[in-house]
Amino acid sequence: MVKLTKKLLIIVLMVLFFLAGCKNDNDYNERYYKYTIKLSNAFNTTNSVTLFTLGERQEDLLNQLAADMDLILLNLDCKFNVQDRSDGIITDLMQVNDNAGVEPVIVDKEVVDVLEVALDISQNSIVDNTALYDPTILPVSLLWDITNRQYNIFDDNRIKDEDLPSANEIEQARQLVNYRNVVINKEHSTVFLKNKGMKIDLGSIVKGYAADKIKSYLLKKDYNKAVIDIGRNILTVGQFVNAKLEDVPWRVGIQRPFASIFDSDFDITKTIGILSVNDLTLVTSGIYEKYILTESGKRYHHILNPQNGYPMENNVVSVTVICEESIIGDVLSTTLFLLGIDKAMALVNELDYKVDTIWILETDEPTKHYEIYISPGLEGHFVFNTKVESKKYTYKGVYNAKPSN
């Protein structure tokens, strides 16, 4: 049976969803119903789709929708996953990695298509001759092993400082990182990694691609009001609807970094603000969820800098990307984070598609606090939550980019 719930994650939507909105008490087909379908944990993350339908849907139909969407996710997982898995499936990317420096591997066309997007973004993220976004970063990521050692406040699973990768290990792994050594043959649908030991990981882009595929599926099935959540990649379908059955924007809550359910004021400070959107995706990259914590209290987040192999140290706490395609939002959220706000804004201005951003920056002047900036396209669409000022968050409005070197 499909798992249905009426509760959404904080990051998804902070709107007043409703089940009713009748024009006529006798016409129950004019009532909107909300169904949240929990999907499988493909990509080792939580996934769900929330539908709004004009008229009730039978459980067998919802079960079929869930099965179809699960199949989309699981098929992609069987092509793109690079993590050890218990089902014995060797994915396309696993085969590519296993044959690095040996021979090209035939992969599904979808792998080629997604990889091409990733490599194009890599080409546009070069700083000092190094691509800051590089899908071949996996050898370094495996050293840090943040996926398996991620800090959990309930377990307090801190690691010993001596268990961190050494500088020598990191430097050796970093020598394998270079997107230029990925060779695609579109005619034969092959991927080849030139150097033995290279490994590729498309986890920073495939969840967005999956969200786009599910959206296409829903539209073909005539579902035009939905919220897709693939590993917290949020993709809105169409528009929300109010009690008068009028189309209105979705109101999306942007999560406050480091917010904890143990905070006494969690309910009023869990978001930094509300963004109104229509038919757009929102994807956030930040330092505050996936990280390891050492016994000495040092935090190491998962967004690695290919220039040195360590977690990127800039003043970016998080960046939220807002655009039409989730595949673009997914890959850009990581890329823009790594570039830093000035270089990121310069890149966004050069892109062929419209992208907006919300930034949270950390500053120590005059004392440690956080500053929130938006891109010009979000003026009038973002409403700051003044309650987070007590958490040392300040809304600064539209960011005026400095010249990028």
Alpha-carbon distance of 319 to 67, in angstroms, equals: 33
**pLDDT of 86 above 80:** no
For 90-130, the pLDDT digits (tens) are 999 999 999 999 999 999 999 999 999 999 999 999 999 99
What residues make up the domain containing 363? 3-75+205-398
**pLDDT of 28 above 60:** no
**pLDDT of 346 above 60:** yes
Q: Could you tell me if 219 and 134 lie in one domain?
A: no
**pLDDT of 304 above 50:** yes
Q: Does a structural domain hold residue 146?
A: yes
Say which CATH number the domain at 339 has: 3.10.520.10
Q: Could you tell me if 241 and 263 lie in one domain?
A: yes
Residues in CB range of 73: below 8 A, 6 or more apart: 39, 40, 42, 43, 47, 210, 214, 230
pLDDT band for position 403 (50/70/90)? low
Q: Could you tell me if 31 and 148 lie in one domain?
A: no
For 198-224, the pLDDT digits (tens) are 999 999 999 999 999 999 999 999 999
CB count in 10 Å sphere of residue 259: 18
Q: Could you tell me if 150 and 100 lie in one domain?
A: yes
End residue of a domain, out of 167, 193, 219 = 193
**pLDDT of 141 above 80:** yes
Q: Could you tell me if 167 and 294 lie in one domain?
A: no
Q: Does a structural domain hold residue 48?
A: yes
Q: What is residue 208's three-state secondary structure? A: helix
pLDDT band for position 366 (50/70/90)? confident
The burial class, CB within 10 Å (0-12 / 13-18 / 19+), for 58 is exposed
Alpha-carbon distance of 341 to 296, in angstroms, equals: 30
pLDDT on residue 3: 41
Angle between helices 326-339 and 206-220 (to 10 degrees): 160
Q: Could you tell me if 141 and 248 lie in one domain?
A: no
Q: Which runs of E-coded beta strand occur in 87-231? A: 105-106, 126-127, 130-131, 182-185, 190-193, 226-230
Alpha-carbon distance of 163 to 23, in angstroms, equals: 64
Total-model pTM: 0.91
Q: Are strands 271-277 and 281-286 parallel, antiparallel or unpaired?
A: unpaired
- Distance set, CA 59 to CA 2, 53, 301 (Å): 8, 13, 42
Q: Specify the residue for token string 């050692």.
A: 149
End residue of a domain, out of 138, 172, 193 = 193
Q: Could you tell me if 252 and 365 lie in one domain?
A: yes
End residue of a domain, out of 173, 193, 213 = 193
Q: Could you tell me if 189 and 210 lie in one domain?
A: no
Q: Could you tell me if 124 and 68 lie in one domain?
A: no
Task: Judge if the upstream peptide bond of residue 306 is cis by omega within 30 degrees of 0.
Answer: no
Q: Does a structural domain hold residue 97?
A: yes
Q: Does a structural domain hold residue 84?
A: no
Give the residues across from 227 on adjacent strands.
50, 236
Q: Which two tokens stand for residue 49?
A: 């789709």
* Closest by Cα among 11, 7, 17 to 272: 11
Alpha-carbon distance of 146 to 54, in angstroms, equals: 44
Q: Could you tell me if 175 and 236 lie in one domain?
A: no
Work out how many domains the chain is built from and give that number: 2
Q: Does a structural domain hold residue 200?
A: no
Alpha-carbon distance of 96 to 78, in angstroms, equals: 13
